Amino acid sequence: MSRIQAQQNAQVIRAALPLLTLTLIGNRESYGYEIVERLSDLGLSVSTGLVYPVLSRLERDALVTTWSVASSNGPPRKYFALTPAGRDARNSALDQWQLVSSAVAHTLTTEGENNA
């Protein structure tokens, strides 16, 4: 993969990560590393170094709430759940993503046909 392709991939992932994170947390309350694993299960290999800052921003903006859950065989884990404001933010981000992705898909289809 060329450097430009890698940068492009990274930018797409970065742009989608808040929406993906809000969606995953909205479906099921999770802790930080679990979100990385769930993304990995979906085929998106994202590092903790990218997900934790996103979670931090979501928490700062009160889009998620956190609490610690004690574990019998380890330290307590910090869980994240969506707030009503987070739900609104997710819906808004989803609308925007669909708008952009349909525009991109449309452009690729029409311009792709012209280039074929």
Partner 1 sequence: MPDTSSPTTFSHRSLLDRFRMDAFLLRVDWHLEGSLPGSDRKAIIESLRQELATEPRELSQALDGLGSPRSLARRYADEGVRRPLWSLGVVIGGLALSIYWAVFLTYTAGMLAAVDSFAPATAHSHFLSIQVRAFSSADGFGIGWTGGWAWLVVPLIIVAVGFLAGARLWRALPALRHEGTSRPSDDF
Residue ranges binding partner 1 (CB under 8 A): 6-7, 9-11, 13-14, 31-33, 36, 46-50, 52-53, 55-57, 59-60, 65-68, 71, 73-78, 81
Provide, rounded to whole angstroms, the least separation between the CB of residue 95 and partner 1.
22
Provide, rounded to whole angstroms, the least separation between the CB of residue 38 and partner 1.
14
Q: Nearer Cβ to partner 1, position 46 or 90? A: 46
Provide, rounded to whole angstroms, the least separation between the CB of residue 98 and partner 1.
23
Q: Nearer Cβ to partner 1, position 76 or 105? A: 76
Look at residues 13, 76, 65 and name the one whose alpha carbon lies nearest to residue 42: 13
Output the CA–CA distances (angstroms, integers) from residue 70 to 23, 65, 67, 74, 75, in the order listed.
Answer: 25, 17, 10, 8, 7
- Rounded to 10°, the helix 3-27/32-41 angle is 110
Q: Nearer Cβ to partner 1, position 11 or 96? A: 11
Provide, rounded to whole angstroms, the least separation between the CB of residue 55 and partner 1.
8
Q: Read off the DSSP letter of residue 28.
A: S
- Rounded to 10°, the helix 84-115/3-27 angle is 140
Q: Nearer Cβ to partner 1, position 70 or 116? A: 70
Q: Read off the DSSP letter of residue 73.
A: T
